[in-house]
Amino acid sequence: MARHRKKKGRPVSGWMILDKPLGMGSTEAVSKIKWLFGADKAGHAGTLDPLASGMLPIALGEATKTVPYVQDGAKVYRFTVTWGEERSTDDLEGEVTKRSDTRPTEAEIRATMPKYTGVIMQTPPQFSAIKIAGERAYDLARGGETIEIPAREVEIGRFDLIEMRGDEATVFEIECGKGTYVRSLARDMGRDLGCFGHISELRRTEVDPFTTDDLVTLAEIEEAMASVPQEAEPAAEGEEPRKPRPGPDQWKVMDALLIDTGAALDCLPQVVVNDDAAARLRLGNAVIVRGRDAPAQSDEACAFARGRLVAIGAIEAGMFKPKRVFTA
């Protein structure tokens, strides 16, 4: 019996900076974007919980090779902490585990904020993706286990109080590094203030190098699809017509919403090469770095030709040595 090969996606590459809606998981969002764009592969930089909204950078095709650089980028979150309750998940999803009638004043909150600014030690939530003995912490927690998760070093570069919502809640904004859990921040502040607390609203607004100007909603993607009409797929007798999958005409319009793969590498030194050098780099060969401003030495850099990313590599003694090459 002949085996059917899985249909391969198209070789589209670039970043979709999705404004993820509430209620949608990150994996679900990536799958939806991959399907809509007909991409052969997709990945994301920095998970957002279903109860969080905002920026979810999704890499398609060759852009998946640049995911680690975006994951390491600084992130900005705006969030609301509701005081008086601590919850098992440190957000609205979990059960209440502790209660207090105490409510902090603005002065008390501001006095404790410096403790959470700069490089700090933070213990991730019980319900998190941290691996403990090979298993995800949230899987163990859902099984009823209470686990010891070691504290780890994170960095919060900016911590601002935006608004006091009476005595019950406070809105904050932080800029932080990789691995910071906002839920842990709310939990720990609530304990320090003697009133307990949990996240009731959470939105990620930036993931360096992307900004709010880059955000694209699902509605905007659907609008781009609808701008090029397509007939619904025929359905079997008695069934509703199937919603059509985007095709080549729709993809041309939708692809305009993508950001170029190379935009993820603003953090690296960049060199410009000609077509001949680009061809050599794509074959894995080193090339001479030319140009007055080109660095003679760099542990990591990227090369562009005609504005398109060609390779990531190292520069040694004026030679660019490719480590990862890009064909699209």
- Of the three residues 266, 282, 311, the one that is the final residue of a domain is 266
- Is 282 contained in some domain? yes
Biggest CA–CA distance in the chain, Å, is: 74
- Of the three residues 266, 290, 306, the one that is the final residue of a domain is 266
Per-residue pLDDT tens over the stretch 123-182? 887 655 555 555 554 554 455 556 677 788 999 999 999 999 999 999 999 999 998 999
What predicted TM-score, i.e. pTM, was given to this entire model?
Answer: 0.87
User: Which residues are designated catalytic?
Assistant: 49
Give the residue-averaged pLDDT of 48-55: 92
- Is 3 contained in some domain? no
80 and 145 housed in the same domain: yes
CA 55/CA 77 separation, integer angstroms: 10
Per-residue pLDDT tens over the stretch 56-83? 999 999 999 999 999 999 999 999 999 9
* Per-residue model confidence (pLDDT) at position 137: 47
Per-residue pLDDT tens over the stretch 248-300? 888 999 999 999 999 999 999 999 999 999 999 999 999 999 877 778 789 99
Torsion of CA 273, 274, 280, 285, to 10 degrees: -30
Q: Which residues pair with 91 in a beta bridge?
A: 199
Residue range of the domain that includes 283: 268-325
Q: With both helix axes pointing from N to C terminus, report the angle between 218-226 and 26-37 in degrees, rounded to the nearest 10.
A: 20
Per-residue pLDDT tens over the stretch 11-26? 899 999 999 999 999 9
243 against 322, higher pLDDT: 322
Torsion sign across C-alpha atoms 270, 276, 281, 287: negative
- Is 1 contained in some domain? no
Which CATH number characterizes residue 148's domain?
3.30.2350.10
Contact yes or no for 176/79 (Cβ under 8 A):
no
118 and 83 housed in the same domain: yes
- Of the three residues 174, 207, 240, the one that is the final residue of a domain is 207
138 and 261 housed in the same domain: no
Helices (H) and strands (E) in the chain, counts: 8, 17
pLDDT at 312 over 90: yes
CA 250/CA 220 separation, integer angstroms: 13
Q: What is the mean pLDDT of the chain?
A: 89
Give the residue-averaged pLDDT of 312-327: 94
Alpha carbon distance, N-terminus to C-terminus of the chain: 36
CA 204/CA 261 separation, integer angstroms: 21
215 against 89, higher pLDDT: 215
